[in-house]
Amino acid sequence: QLALRSNLIKCNHDRTLNLDVSGIDVYFYDFSRNHVGTYAIDNAAQGILASPELDKVKKFIIFVPGYKSKITKKTEEQVRNTFRNYPNSYLIILDHSQYTNDKQGYIKSYERSVQYVYYIGKALANMLSGLKKGGISAKNMHCIGHSLGSQMLGQTGEIFTNLTGEKISRITALDPAGPCFSNSLIQEQVRSGVADYVEVYHCNAGGLGTTSVLGDIDFFVNKKGAAQPNCGTPWIPGIFDSSKAAKCNHRMCIDMYTATVNHPEWFIAHKCATYKDYKKG
C-alpha cells in the first residue's frame, strides 16, 4: 500500500518538535552468558555498562528495525539467531514500536513514524555516546538498520559524531525506506560520512526502498535492486506490484544480509568493470 500510494503521504521531517521517545525499549543480549537485559533507552547505556562481566573490547552490534516492527516479530528473531554464535560480540536490538506501529491505519501511521525518525536516531546516538563515555570504543560499534531503521541511523551517526568527535565504525543500511526519503534532503537520509564505513543494500528500490545511491558502497541486488526471485513481482516492478510482493522484496535484504553473516563463503565476488565484461569471462 505504501509503495503504491507514496504520493498521498505527507512527509514531515521537522526537527523542532522535541518529540519524546523515552518509551523505546533496548534489549541487550550476551549470548555467551545466556543473559538478556531490557532497559528504557534513556537508562540503557548505564544498564549495559553495569552488566555482569561486560567485556568492553567485544564488538557491539546494534540492530534498528523498521516500520511496524516489534521485538517479538520474525525479523528480530532472525537477527538474534544470526548473531547468537557470532564470535566476540554483543547484540543490541531497539524496539521503537510505540512510535512506529500502524495503529492509526497505514498511511497516517507511516506519516507519524517518519516524524519520529530523527528523534529515535538521536536517542540512539545519545545511548551510544553514553557507552563510549563508559569505555566502549566507537571502533567496536556496528549499527545495522532495516528500512525506516536505516534512515534513523543517518541521524544516529551524525549526532554521535557531533557529541563525541568520533565516528561509529560501520553502518549497514538494508533497503533504506523510500517513501518520504527518496526525494528528501540528503541530511534526512542515511549516507556516506555518517560512519567510517556506510554500506547500503537495495532490494525493493522504487517501492518500499529508496532508489538513491547513498553509501560508500551501494549494492543493487538482482533486478535493478527492485525485485527479488520468488516474490511474485510483475514484469514492471513498482507499477502493478501487490503490497505482498513489495514486502517480500523489501524483507529479502534482511535474508540476504544475515546469510552473509552465517555463510561468508557463499558470496564470492569478482571485481569487474561491467557486468557485460563479466559475462564474457
User: Is 147 noted as a catalytic residue in this protein?
Assistant: yes
Choose, from 6, 147, 150, 212, the residue flagged as catalytic.
147
Is residue 153 within 8 Å of 64, Cβ to Cβ?
A: yes
Is residue 132 within 8 Å of 84, Cβ to Cβ?
A: no
Main-chain phi, psi angles of 168, to 5 degrees: -60, 145
Other CB atoms closer than 10 Å to residue 142's CB: what's the count? 18
Residue keyed to cell 549495559: 48
Is residue 58 within 8 Å of 90, Cβ to Cβ?
A: yes
Other CB atoms closer than 10 Å to residue 14's CB: what's the count? 9
User: Is 20 noted as a catalytic residue in this protein?
Assistant: no
Rounded Cα gap, residues 125 and 162, in angstroms:
10
Cell output for 254: 534482511
Residue keyed to cell 521537522: 14
User: Is 250 noted as a catalytic residue in this protein?
Assistant: yes
Is residue 141 within 8 Å of 166, Cβ to Cβ?
A: no
Choose, from 30, 69, 96, 175, the residue flagged as catalytic.
175
Is residue 231 within 8 Å of 249, Cβ to Cβ?
A: yes
User: What residues are labeled active site?
Assistant: 147, 175, 250
